[in-house]
Amino acid sequence: MTDTTETSALPPETSQRRSLGERFPLATLILQRLGLSALLLFAVSVLIFGGVEALPGDFATTYLGQSATPQAVANIRADLGLDRPIVTRYFEWLGGAVQGDFGNSWASGNSVSEQIGRRLGNSLFLAFFAAVVSVPLAVGLGMLAVFYRDRVPDKIINIVSLAAISLPEFFIGYLLILFFAVNMRIATFPATVYDSMGFIDRLQTIALPAATLVFVVLAHMMRMTRAAILSVMSSAYMESAELKGLSAMRAIIKHAAPNAIAPIVNVVALNLAYLVVGVVVVEVVFVYPGMGQYMVDAVTVRDMPVVQACGLIFAAFYIILNMVADIIAIVANPRLRHPR
C-alpha cells in the first residue's frame, strides 16, 4: 500500500481575463439586439422583393387587360425597367428605400413615399389611440383579476375578454356598427377621415374602429398580465412580503410587478405590432384610409412598388417593436443591469 496522501490547499487561478461581454453585459446584449434587428430587416427585404417577384400574374397584363399584345406588354415592361436583372433592381430599390424613396406607383405614377406617408399617419393615429386605451386597461384589469383571483370580478373579466378574443374582428366591427351607428346613432360610419378634418372630429370618427381593435387585443394582453403576475405571486419573495405585513396591493405593485415586466412587455409589443400591421380587415370594414387598405388595393392591381413598400414598413414596425420589448426585458433584469 503506497501512501497517496497529497496535500495542496492552493486555490486555482480565477483571475482569467474577462471579456468585454462579461464586463458590460447590458450594453453588449443591447448592441446584439440592434445588430440582429438590422440583419433581420435586411433578410426580410430580400424575402419581400423575391416573394413579390415570384408572384404569378404581371402588372403589364393586368393593366392592359384585353389589349395585351406581346409588343405592348414588352413596351410597358421596358418602361418600368423590368427587363433588367433582378439583382440590379433589388439593390436600386433597397438603396432608394434606405433613403425613404420607394419609387413611383406603377398604377398612378405618383411617388409611393408621399402616398404612404399620409396613409401611414392615419394607420398610426388609429393604432395609437387603440393602444392608449387598451394597454393600461389590459394591465389594470390583469392586476385587478389577480387581486380578486378566483372570485367574481376575476371570472367576469376572464369570460368577457375570452368572448372578445373568440369573435372574429370583422364581426365585432359589424356588431359595433349595428349598435352604435345604426341603432343608437351616436357614432359615425363609415370611419373615413379627410385631410381637412379637425382633431376632435377625427377622434369621433375613429371611435368605432378603435373600439374594435381594443376588443381584439385586450384579452391577450390582459390574460398574459394576469398569468405573469400570478406566476410571480407564487414565489418565495411574495410570501416574504406578506410576512413583512405589507398590504396585498403594495406587495403586488412593489414586489410582483417589477418581476412580471418582461413577459408583459413582450405581449404588449406583439399586440402593438398587430395594431399597426394587422388592421387590414378592420380598415376595410370601416372604410378607413390606412396602410392596410392601401396595400390590399395595390395587390389587386399588381402595383408592386406599393406592395413592397407596405410590406417592408410593416416588417420594420414588427421588428422594431419586438426589439424594443426585448431591450426593455433585458434592462428590467437586475442580473444584467447590475453584474456581479
Partner 1 sequence: MHDHLLSVRNLKIEATSYPPGEPPKDITIVEGISFDLEKGKVLGLIGESGAGKSTIGLSALAYGRGGVRITGGEVLLEGKDILPLGKRGIRTIRGARVCYVAQSAAAAFNPAHKLGDQVIEATLAHGLMSEAEARKRALYLFEVLGLPNPDTFGDRFPHQVSGGQLQRAMTAMALCSNPQLIVFDEPTTALDVTTQIDVLAAIKHAIEETDTAALYITHDLAVVAQISDHIMVLRHGHMVEYGTAQQIIEAPREEYTRALVNVRQKKREEAADQTDTLLKVDNVSAGYSNGFKVLFDVSLHLPKGQTLAIVGESGSGKSTLARVITGLLPPSEGSITFDGKQLTPALKQRSRDDLRRIQLIYQMADTAMNPRQTVGQIIGRPLSFYFGLHGAKKRARVAELLEEIEMGSGFIDRYPAELSGGQKQRVAIARALAAEPELILCDEPTSALDPLVAEGILNLLLRLQAETQVSYLFITHDIAIVRAIADSVAVMHRGKLVRFGPKSKVLAPPFDDYTDLLLKSVPEMEIGWLEKALASRKMESAGN
Q: Is there binding between residue 1 and partner 1 (CB under 8 A)? A: yes
Pick the closest to residue 268 from 211, 191, 324, 336 (CA basis): 324
Q: List, in sequence order, every residue forming a beta bridge with 104; answer none if it has no partner.
A: 111
51, 244, 253, 287: residue in contact with partner 1 (rule CB under 8 A): 244
- Residue 68 contacts residue 61 (beta carbons within 8 Å): yes
Q: Is there binding between residue 17 and partner 1 (CB under 8 A)? A: no
- Given the complex with partner 1, which of 246 and 281 has the nearer CB atom? 246
Distance between CA atoms of 68 and 72, rounded to whole angstroms?
A: 6
11, 57, 65, 85: residue in contact with partner 1 (rule CB under 8 A): 11
- Given the complex with partner 1, which of 246 and 316 has the nearer CB atom? 246
Q: Is there binding between residue 29 and partner 1 (CB under 8 A)? A: no
Q: What is the closest distance, in whole angstroms, from the C-beta atom of residue 338 to partner 1 in the complex?
A: 5
- Given the complex with partner 1, which of 101 and 242 has the nearer CB atom? 242
Q: Is there binding between residue 15 and partner 1 (CB under 8 A)? A: no
Pick the closest to residue 310 from 7, 318, 223, 40 (CA basis): 318
Instruction: Restricting to residues 201-240, name those near partner 1 by CB under 8 A.
Output: 235-237, 239-240
Taking 3-state DSSP, the helix, strand and coil percentages for the chain, each rounded to the nearest 5, stand at 75, 0, 25
Give yes or no for a cis peptide into 190 (omega within 30° of 0).
yes
127, 255, 283, 307: residue in contact with partner 1 (rule CB under 8 A): 255
Task: Tell me how far the alpha carbon of residue 112 is from its chain's centroid.
Answer: 22
List Cβ neighbours of 278 (8 Å cut-off, separation of 6 or more): none
- Given the complex with partner 1, which of 61 and 247 has the nearer CB atom? 247
Distance between CA atoms of 126 and 130, rounded to whole angstroms?
A: 6
Residue 13 backbone phi and psi in degrees, to 5: -65, 125
Q: Is there binding between residue 3 and partner 1 (CB under 8 A)? A: yes
30, 94, 230, 246: residue in contact with partner 1 (rule CB under 8 A): 246
Per CB under 8 A, residues contacting partner 1 are: 1, 3-12, 16, 235-237, 239-247, 250, 254-255, 258-259, 332, 334-335, 338, 340
